[in-house]
Structure 1
Amino acid sequence: MARRRLAVIGAGAIGRMHVERARLHPQAEVVAIADPSPAACEFAQQEGLRWFADYASMLDEARPEGAIVATPNATHVDVGLACIARGIPALIEKPIADDVNAAQQLSRAADEAKVPLLVGHHRRHNPILRRAREIIASGRLGKPVTANALATFYKPDAYFHVEWRRRAGGGPVLINLIHDIDIMRFLLGEIVEVQALTSNAVRGFEVEDTAAVLLRFESGALGTLAVSDCASAPWNWDLAAGEAAHYPRQQVNTHFLIGTDASLTLPQLDVWEYRSRKGWHEPLTVERSTPHSADPYHEQLRHFAGVIAGEEAPLCSADDAARTLAATLAVHRAVASRAPVALAR
């Protein structure tokens, strides 16, 4: 497959990470950056890339084969629509938008124009989750009955020097828990009901620092999620899965998927099951899968190149990402209403 000429819109931390990954990728190369900040201009010069202050001008002049959208959430729809209008496939960072109606608008526009959009729920590209999905799809767990996930970590004080991170919408539900909700949907199917509680009792900011969430799946299974960014604990995907070298890896599990015939832990991929009779007096056997390690961002770029070429369908489409966003926003709705929130199909 030929290297695809990409442009990055938004040169913050995530945008720069994509540039760095593409530099070493055999199927992708970044040729231009659009971001009005002086720091972005300097970064583009350092990387030998064309720099544009305006993304529309960049799309028209550089004519990339694909665009990576790493701008603030509220701008994703406008930037995505600009890509669609020019027939340019886009990889849009999560969340796809800041509200569900906007996400659905973007999804419809992409479908009508037949321009593929891939949303950057990058964990789906991790071989661990791909293997977990195979195990569940095989029926080995039997009927899923419950699932539990922990996303507990400590964000240092300096993280909150940026004001929006202290305001509603800047907390661990929308920034962090959305990943775990997407994992749950990816592995167990649609979420149909959400209940939740949040707390800001530790830091006292407007935004939550801790949340507890209860999910009902379309299959009838139930799930629980706990997230906290003021917890001294190892139980979160970033530390446990080893996706990024700047997080010290911990040999722990964070997600537990429990069925009538077997149970599965992640990221260590342990399958617990009875090998003869089932019953709490019988011994359980554990078996571990060990998939090849891979950088999910690297694999996401490979997949995006395949999407641009028309050889692969987006692993996380705009419509799919809108469903994850709806379930995540339902957490705050459930907190505000102090009642369960039903999710429409």
Structure 2
Amino acid sequence: MPSHCRIAVAGLGLVGRRHADRIAAMPGVTLAGVADPSDRARVDAGAMGRAWYPALDALLDAEAPDGVIIASPTTLHVEQAALCIERGVPVLIEKPIGVSVAETAPLVARAEAAGVPILTGHHRRHNPLIHAARDVIAQGKLGRIRAVQATCWFYKPDAYFAEAPWRTQKGAGPISVNLAHDIDLLRHLCGEIACVTASATPSIRGAQNEDVAAALLEFASGAIGTISVSDGAVSPWSWELTSAEYPVYPVTQESCYQIAGTEGALSIPDLRLWTHEGAPDWWTPIRATSLIRGASDPLVNQIAHFADVIAGRAAPLVSGREGLRTLQVIEAIQRAAATRERVAITPA
């Protein structure tokens, strides 16, 4: 990682502050500045001893950072990323990469044509436990994957929405804000999703978006998956409460994903691999083996990877194209929920 790698952050909200704090604590990476129009961001940037700018273009002109992390509201992602691409500055865009496929696809194509890297902030792919799960699947220990189940249930307090009213608006519900991470991991672990059907229910708090949804996922491999999400349901079954990835969340001993194949099954994030003794047979004993994996902060890993991409030593693990493909699935789920139709997906 080059000692001169200077990374700026656009949007110093809940997620942007996490990025800024980690950059400040990492050797070889410097926080080049913060772009966010809020007074709170100005104060926070001053407390960190970093330059503050009300707009990203001003930061780019004044600081000429090596890369930019965009953690602003989703509606600004494409516009701000375009400013970076025009200047040849690599960008890491928080998920979802954009509001819609229609507005995001041209950005990704433009960046690819210009040779400017876009990374999508699906940071869970940088978690060592996901590396371990992917290795198990790649080694064929599950056989051919046939069934997938994912649960994403939790209760967000009213204050979460009050401090950022955009979170109550159409398109900012848990399908796009939360399910995007889970869909990306299912694609990463199990392959492309070819078709979806879905259902969603309007928020009982009166927001414009949904607060519960479920989808049936048909994978290109022939596997079938089910996934459900709610930000208004008390539950221990979500990545946030099972992975111990972010200390602000209480940790349960539950799992949120189950993947089953012709040879074995895997629960995640506890990484318990289930296999029968001898050939698979529901009349023979089945036992679980807990897999060993490392532990490290995936946000730190992602920033280190971003620095390597900037330096030309690595290709993006989650490229703009990958982020676009996950957004395609999210958009298909939203469309299927609205029309109650089966929606086919052709990967971008």
- TM-score class, shorter: over 0.9
Q: Is the 8 A contact 1:147 1:222 kept in 2?
A: yes
Does the C-alpha gap of structure 1 residues 208 and 126 become closer, same or farther in structure 2, counting only changes over 3 Å? same
Partner amino acid, structure 2, of 1:327: V
Number of aligned positions between the proteins: 345
- Name the CA distance, whole Å, in 1 between partners of 2:342 and 2:255: 29
Does the C-alpha gap of structure 1 residues 94 and 201 become closer, same or farther in structure 2, counting only changes over 3 Å? closer
Aligned pairs for 1:156-195 (under 5 A) are 156-161=157-162, 162-195=164-197
Show the counterpart of 1:61.
Answer: 62
- Name the CA distance, whole Å, in 1 between partners of 2:27 and 2:103: 34
* Post-superposition offset of 1:202: 4.2
- Name the CA distance, whole Å, in 2 between partners of 1:79 and 1:164: 17
- Name the CA distance, whole Å, in 2 between partners of 1:143 and 1:80: 39
* Post-superposition offset of 1:57: 2.0
Deviations 1:13-46 (A, max 9, x none): 2111111011111232102111222222111111
Deviations 1:137-164 (A, max 9, x none): 1111111001001111111222233443
Show the counterpart of 1:93.
Answer: 94
Partner amino acid, structure 1, of 2:280: K
Q: Is the 8 A contact 1:103 1:318 kept in 2?
A: no
- Structure 2: 5+ residue stretches without partners: none
4+ residue segments displaced more than 4 Å: none
- Name the CA distance, whole Å, in 2 between partners of 1:113 and 1:14: 28
| 3-state DSSP of counterpart to 2:178 | helix
Deviations 1:190-227 (A, max 9, x none): 11101001123744543211111100000010000011
Does the C-alpha gap of structure 1 residues 286 and 84 become closer, same or farther in structure 2, counting only changes over 3 Å? same
Show the counterpart of 2:30.
Answer: 29
| 3-state DSSP of counterpart to 1:196 | strand
Query: TM-score scaled to structure 2, two decimals?
Result: 0.96
Which of 208, 213, 216 is matched with 2:215 structurally?
213
Q: Is the 8 A contact 1:142 1:259 kept in 2?
A: yes
Show the counterpart of 1:255.
Answer: 257
- Name the CA distance, whole Å, in 2 between partners of 1:201 and 1:94: 22
| 3-state DSSP of counterpart to 1:212 | strand
- Name the CA distance, whole Å, in 2 between partners of 1:32 and 1:278: 56
- Name the CA distance, whole Å, in 1 between partners of 2:86 and 2:217: 37
* Post-superposition offset of 1:279: 1.0
- Name the CA distance, whole Å, in 2 between partners of 1:50 and 1:35: 11
Show the counterpart of 1:83.
Answer: 84
Deviations 1:71-95 (A, max 9, x none): 2212211211111111111111111
Show the counterpart of 2:317.
Answer: 315
Q: Is the 8 A contact 1:103 1:319 kept in 2?
A: no
Show the counterpart of 2:228.
Answer: 226
- Name the CA distance, whole Å, in 2 between partners of 1:169 and 1:201: 12
Show the counterpart of 2:2.
Answer: 2
Given the alignment of the two structures, is residue 285 of structure 1 paired with residue 287 of structure 2, yes or no? yes
RMSD in angstroms over aligned alpha carbons? 1.3
- Name the CA distance, whole Å, in 2 between partners of 1:246 and 1:325: 27
* Post-superposition offset of 1:54: 2.3
Q: Is the 8 A contact 2:257 2:267 kept in 1?
A: yes
Given the alignment of the two structures, is residue 240 of structure 1 paired with residue 218 of structure 2, yes or no? no
Q: Is the 8 A contact 1:97 1:103 kept in 2?
A: yes
Deviations 1:90-140 (A, max 9, x none): 111111111102221111111111111111001110011111111111111
Given the alignment of the two structures, is residue 155 of structure 1 paired with residue 162 of structure 2, yes or no? no
Which of 268, 274, 282 is matched with 1:272 structurally?
274
Q: Is the 8 A contact 1:173 1:328 kept in 2?
A: yes
* Post-superposition offset of 1:325: 0.5
Show the counterpart of 1:132.
Answer: 133
Q: Is the 8 A contact 1:41 1:51 kept in 2?
A: yes
Query: TM-score scaled to structure 1, two decimals?
Result: 0.97
- Name the CA distance, whole Å, in 2 between partners of 1:225 and 1:188: 14
- Structure 1: 5+ residue stretches without partners: none
Does the C-alpha gap of structure 1 residues 81 and 333 become closer, same or farther in structure 2, counting only changes over 3 Å? same
| 3-state DSSP of counterpart to 1:250 | coil
Partner amino acid, structure 2, of 1:178: A
* Post-superposition offset of 1:2: 2.2
- Name the CA distance, whole Å, in 2 between partners of 1:165 and 1:9: 18
Show the counterpart of 2:331.
Answer: 329
Aligned pairs for 1:5-16 (under 5 A) are 5-16=6-17
Q: Is the 8 A contact 1:274 1:284 kept in 2?
A: yes
